Structure 1
Amino acid sequence: MHSKRIALVTGANQGIGLQLAKELVANGYTVLVGARDLTKGEAAAASIGSEARALQLDVTVPGSIIAAAARIRSEFGRLDLLVNNAAISHAGAPGRSLAEIMQSTRPSVASLDEVRAVYETNVFGVIAVTQALLPLLREAPAARIVNVSSGLGSLTLVSDPTFPFRSGFDVVYSASKTALNAVTVAFALELESAGIKVNAVSPGFTATALNNFEGTDTLEEGSRAPVWMALDETGPTVTFVGPDGPMPW
């Protein structure tokens, strides 16, 4: 059995996922850098150090998920921390501005094909990966699952006329994060008796590829809450936190 704590971060070859992997390694973890493109995953892992290992993982491909779970069991025998970070904000033409993406994902005009594609990664992918890795999480003494969500997924916040990002709520990315929050609660309630903690975290409006790097927060700022949540081994379960603390579901 591997002596160090083992973490898997999906979508970890760039952005907040990469920063999370770096912080976890710095805090004594061996981190599996999940990436659809293994070459990019290997480059990311090399930039972190010897305790980061690239893992080919496309959360929308069942065979990829099964192979990843088999490799983790073979090499480590357990998983202490799963961070479901992989996400996409749209499935339309690349290179569009954030304003253009927001226009195309309004409820009245959004493509159902795009809704389905985003849900495949942001919702169904999280369920599939979590289900596949639960046997390995059950082998850990204090397993945790962290789902990277968004403040736009909070129905309480977007229902408030004073919420500054209210106009950005759509049926594609935003609604997928609302669904992810529901998935988080469902897993947390089922796994509470097993001692596996499941929580959601919002990085805030961080400049990443998700928003064409038009976010207002730096990567360092946006990574603070996810890093804190990922490293917190003694906190509660069924919580949703953001850069400024607890958030309403």
Structure 2
Amino acid sequence: MKTVLITGANKSIGFETARQLLQKGYYIYLGSRDEQKGKQAVDQLKSEGFDKVEPITIDVDNLDSIKAAREALGQKISVLDVLINNAGISGGFPQTALEADISVFRQVFETNLFGVIETTQAFIDLLKQSPEPRIVNVTSGLGSLTLHNDPSWKYYHVKGACYTASKAALNAYTIVLAYELRDTSFKVNVVDPGYTATDFNHHSGPGTVTDAAARLVKAATIGPDGPTSQFFSDDNAPDTGISPW
């Protein structure tokens, strides 16, 4: 049975991703910064009839928490098949390049970039034991530099200096990570779940959590002939599903 660790999975897209992967027969380690909220999320899934799920406390802003989560998971399994780096924050809007406080930049980068890097590095040894390891980094359409420089893009005027920069940096990190793992069975991709109605954006997005999670699940379950080092986005590229970087 394949195993999955999802960060920030106690609600919204992460939670629905856990549910959909459970439906496909995966064993889920549901990551949550808050231990109690993680347990409540697992209880909810178990009340729906899913039993192959456990909570794991992991705060991606805290290296000690990441290391503790790796130690805890290592006592349960020796192989991790899928890592979904889902935890993220917006930093609040508006965020202008000239007025956004540097502390907000640091906070957003701590979660959206450095947390992903430290989590990936902490769990890479377990992932390397899988015959078909998958890493899915959750990005945003706002992380596309090409589209941000295109006045005809539908979100051209949606500029968040901190958030956009953090997701663009995450995309760049993913490209390098995929390159380093290019001669292995790893598939490493970023996925834009789309403009989805969640707490993240005060439920302003038109997309559903169900559809957003399905995009993550598709990348997490990609076959051996599937692509790596891609930027998947049905929102930005409805025809091809591949967004420009």
TM-score, length basis structure 1: 0.91
Is contact 2:20-2:213 (8 Å) kept? no
Instruction: Work out whether 1:24 is the aligned partner of 2:8.
Output: no
Structure 1 segment 87-126 matched on structure 2, within 5 A: 87-90=88-91, 101-102=93-94, 105-126=95-116
Partner residue in 1 for 2:5 = 8
Q: State the TM-score, normalized to the length of structure 2.
A: 0.93
Partner of 1:79: 80
Cα distance in 2, alignment partners of residues 202 and 183 from structure 1:
15
Which structure: greater helix fraction? 1
**Alpha-carbon distance in structure 2 between the residues aligned to 1:25 and 1:221:** 16
- Which of 166, 179, 183 is 2:169 aligned to? 179
Give 1:194 deviation, angstroms: 2.6
Structure 1: distance between partners of 2:126 and 2:211: 32
Give yes or no for contact 2:113–2:170 (8 Å, CA) kept in 1.
yes
Moved over 3 A (4+): none
Aligned AA (2:181)? L
- 2:58 corresponds in structure 1 to 57
Alignment of 1:1-249 (within 5 A): 4-48=1-45, 49-90=50-91, 101-102=93-94, 105-234=95-224, 235-243=226-234, 244=238, 245-249=241-245
| Secondary structure at the counterpart of residue 25 of structure 1 | helix
Q: Which residue of 2 aligns with 1:98?
A: none
Task: State the secondary structure of the residue aligned to 2:75.
Answer: helix
Q: Secondary structure at the match of 2:68?
A: helix
1:215: Cα distance to partner?
1.1
The separation in 2 between residues aligned to 1:224 and 1:26, in whole angstroms, is: 12
* SS across alignment from 2:188: strand
Residues 1-47 of structure 1: per-residue CA shift (max 9 Å, x gap):
xxx11100000001110011001111111001000001111111122
Percentage of identical aligned residues:
41
Task: Report the aligned-residue RMSD.
Answer: 1.1
Q: For structure 1, which runs of at least 5 residues remain unmatched after alignment?
A: 93-100
Alignment coverage as a number of residue pairs: 235
The AA in structure 2 aligned to 1:225 is R
Contact 1:46 1:52 in 2 (8 A): no
- The superposition leaves residues 27-68 of structure 1 with CA deviations (integer Å, 9 ceiling, x where unpaired) of 111001000001111111122231111000000111111111
**Deviation string, structure 1 residues 93-130 (Cα, Å, up to 9, x no partner):** xxxxxxxx22xx11121010001001000000000000
The amino acid of 2:3's aligned partner reads I
